[in-house]
A and B are shown apart, each in its own frame.
Chain A
Amino acid sequence: MTIAVIDYGMGNLHSVAKALEHVTHENVTITRDPRAIRGASRLVLPGQGAIRDCMGELERTELRGLVSELLDEQAKPLLGICVGQQMLFERSEENGGVDCLGFLPGRVRHFGHGLVGTDGERLKVPHMGWNRVVQRHAHPLWDGIEDGARFYFVHSYYVEAGLESDVFGATDYAGVDAHVVTGRGTVFAVQFHPEKSARDGLQLLENFVNWAP
């Protein structure tokens, strides 16, 4: 039993690997070897930085085809994190428009500039810090996590899913209904960083490790 964190060259994978090791005795590996990825029992698709670079690196490391296949096969649980969530959708408006994996219908949008909250407070972009996630549908990955629990976010773009049934959690920021938790079948993906979200984040990772879809 191995959990493979897919390393296509973007971002800091050590935090997520360390957090997984904290909640499981299963082997956690950071890898870009297609055989290791195919052979793993569970997959984590992380992502940090600009989506053009993430998609570009996924292409360059020749993992794009494999990731798409694995998503379609629905044979093992996959957890997308941050840009790893965004990449699952059809298209992002970041970097002038970037085509993504298109596993789920929907697009990735920018929060916009000059945002003002309901109390007149100026809202910053990136949306950085601990915000509440409202649970839209029940899911085994929500076990032991209260509705409205706070998770740690850092992002300027957010998912607008095409289908309500794919949305498992949402966060309100500046009046925007950001679909921060999405999934279908064996795939679950979050915009926030569970590996940096203290107890609730670790609970979500533990739920993922125990998930048998």
Chain B
Amino acid sequence: MTLAKRIIPCLDVDAGRVVKGVNFLGIRDAGDPVEIAKRYNQQGADEITFLDITASHEDRDTTVEMVERIAGEVFIPLTVGGGIRRCEDIRTMLNAGADKVSINTAAVTNPDFVREAAERFGSQCIVVAIDAKRVSDDNETPRWEIFTHGGRRPTGLDAVEWARKMVAYGAGELLLTSMDRDGTKAGFDIGVTRAISDAVEVPIIASGGVGNLDHLVAGVREGGADAVLAASIFHFGEYTIPDAKRYMAEHGLEMRL
């Protein structure tokens, strides 16, 4: 088995700058997306994810321009998410040089959009982002639900069922974020990662909560993730991509070194 586990640094971009919130509050500025993407590329990142967290419409043009600039210099897969609601948005991002798009809220409000997008552009470029939050008590069988709006709005959808449905609709990959863990640095929610990884055949990217390199190993080994996504541990220089890859390789995981 030689397929490498992937490390995906994530750029959360607001109005043209990379930021990373802690539980979506207390946003810190981390720099220019193009420079950061180039740095991660040089370090050997396996992919880059660009999440546009800009709310305003006029800043969308800035995003397209950023994606174009990154795609002209960084020759590894680039996923763009945030505000992907119509096939036209997907076309725009693919034309700008994105390889995949990540669909989040629009998948919940209109699941058929995922089907339409997969039919039109192919499953290989459709990532569905799943924001899950644990809703069961500690003494109950664990259960997670889908939340939207940065973890504030419950949908009543069971996360594992939802993952199966999205794959049936054509999602080629799932980006799973634990809303309980995101920004906490306490590690991935292994339970939900394993539950979803076991439930579907497509690759799973684990996200939300990475604070150290053991968390990355656990996401793959215990959670069954095919890729791990992290932001702040890389942005603020705590670890480099090669540090993370070496560490994961030392723990027996197949990595692209």
Contacts and interface: CB of A to CB of B under 8 A. Distances in A.
- A, B co-complexed: yes
Interface of A: 11-12, 14-15, 18-19, 22, 48-50, 113, 117-119, 121-132, 150, 152, 154-155, 171-174, 193, 195-198, 201-202
B151 interface: no
Contact of A12 (B94, B172, B256): B94
B4 A119 contact: no
Contacts of B76: 152, 196-198
Interface string B82-109: 0000000000001111010000000000
29 contacts: A12-B94, A12-B99, A14-B94, A14-B96, A15-B71, A15-B99, A18-B72, A48-B122, A50-B122, A121-B1, A124-B201, A124-B202, A124-B226, A125-B201, A125-B202, A126-B172, A128-B124, A128-B172, A128-B173, A128-B203, A130-B3, A130-B256, A152-B76, A152-B77, A173-B2, A196-B75, A196-B99, A198-B75, A201-B75
B1 A123 contact: yes
Given A12-B94, A14-B94, A14-B97, A126 B1 contact: no
A132 B2 CA distance: 6
A112 to B, nearest CB: 11
What does DSSP make chain A's interface, helix, strand, loop or mixed? Answer: mixed
A40 to B, nearest CB: 22
A160 B227 CA distance: 28
Contacts of B172: 126, 128, 154
A172 B172 CA distance: 21
B224 interface: yes
A172 B254 CA distance: 14
B3 to A, nearest CB: 5
B97 A131 contact: no
A129 B2 CA distance: 10
A129 B75 contact: no
Contacts of B72: 18, 22
Contacts of B128: none
